[in-house]
Amino acid sequence: MSTFDHTSLIQNINANLAPLRKSQPEAMQGFGQLARASMAEGAISAKHKELMALAIGITQHCSGCIGFHVKALIKLGCTQQELEEMLTVCVYMGGGPALMYSAEARAAFEAMSAPA
């Protein structure tokens, strides 16, 4: 079970970005549009794109990325098996540091999938 609360982390990031969204609306809207367009269903499914995004977040050591992309994967119906197979690729490509963040992602998936 995760001792790191990714739900709170996501909320804190969103709250901390609110002033930037207000002061820099065009740039932040541009980033949001890029995110929506990049993650949209296409030749590659939205779920597979989220798995790729989570893999990049893990290998870049980004806990916030883990929280946001795990949340999205849960909404897209990602299974534990799909997540764990992707995590093994992260470890293969990223070594020991990716293993540590893979453990974090696995725990976040378990915690965020649990009934409220």
Handedness of CA 94, 56, 7, 45 (dihedral sign): negative
Predicted pLDDT at 90? 97
SS3 state at 47: helix
Tell me: pLDDT of 1 over 70.
Answer: no
Write the single-letter amino acid at 32. Answer: G
- Confirm whether pTM is higher than 0.85: yes
Tell me: pLDDT of 88 over 50.
Answer: yes
Extended beta strands in the chain, E state: none
Gap between the Cα atoms of 16 and 14, Å rounded: 5
* Structural domains for the chain: 6-113 (1.20.1290.10)
Handedness of CA 75, 113, 48, 50 (dihedral sign): positive
How do residues 35-52 score in pLDDT, each as one tens digit?
999 999 999 999 999 999
What average pLDDT does this structure show over 7-25? 96
Predicted pLDDT at 31? 97
Percentage of residues in the chain having pLDDT higher than 70: 97
Gap between the Cα atoms of 21 and 23, Å rounded: 6
